[in-house]
Amino acid sequence: MQEKSQLPRSKSAAASSVRDSVIRATTNLAASTAVTVEAFTNLAALSGMYEIKAAEIALRRSRRSDVKEFALSMREDHSELNRKLESYMQGMQRPKSPPDALDPMHQILVGDLESASEEDFDKRYLSQQEAAHDTAITLFRTYRDYGADEKLRNLAGQGLPVLQQHMQMVRNMKRAQSAT
């Protein structure tokens, strides 16, 4: 049996934790099998769009200066990755546009951030960022290693260190949060 200190503070926090776990498992499965150009570009574009939207929410709602600095980096870095991805997509033999809206799964995550209490926001944001970057790293690594298009494999390879740096930043902030 769990000790009381390990239990979520509220039903909302418990639901958020379960939702995060389900979404992480689902998106990691999709990311680990995204070796076609279409699957990679779609998932990478959605991931980037979500990162930018989540960063904008964090810039507005976070109470921690380190989280706000991280959110600024997320907005800048993911905007750059999205520009490179969109440029690639426009140069394809059959030009394609990235999705113009978040998919339902990412919409749920954004809604979860918007509805988080002030007290829980930073913890929830960092938890989502850890899951999102775990998935993005899997996606970019999978395409870099197994993708069919050399130019897109190079783009994935260039994006991977950025994503890994983001993951390290998230983990450092979570450690700092746990220490307080």
Give the whole-angstrom CA distance, residue 88 versus residue 103: 21
- Answer yes or no: are the C-beta atoms of 166 and 133 closer than 8 Å: yes
Please give the pLDDT value at position 10: 57
Look up the pTM and report it.
Answer: 0.82
Helix, strand, coil in percent for the chain, rounding step 5? 80, 0, 20
Please give the pLDDT value at position 4: 40
Give the whole-angstrom CA distance, residue 112 versus residue 19: 9
Q: Which of 1.10.10.2160, 3.40.640.10, 3.40.50.720, 1.20.1260.10 is the CATH number of 10-179?
A: 1.20.1260.10
Tokens at 110, concatenated:
């954004």
Tokens at 36, concatenated:
């076609």
Query: Low-confidence residues of the chain, pLDDT below 50?
Result: 1-8, 28-29, 31
Give the whole-angstrom CA distance, residue 30 versus residue 25: 9
Characterise 99 by phi-psi region: left (phi > 0), alpha (psi -120 to 50), beta (else): beta
Q: Among candidates 141, 140, 115, which has minimal Cα distance to 128?
A: 115
Give the whole-angstrom CA distance, residue 58 versus residue 64: 9
Please give the pLDDT value at position 19: 58
The amino acid that residue 79 corresponds to is S
Task: Render pLDDT for 108-119 as a digit per residue (tens, 0 to 9).
Answer: 999 999 999 999
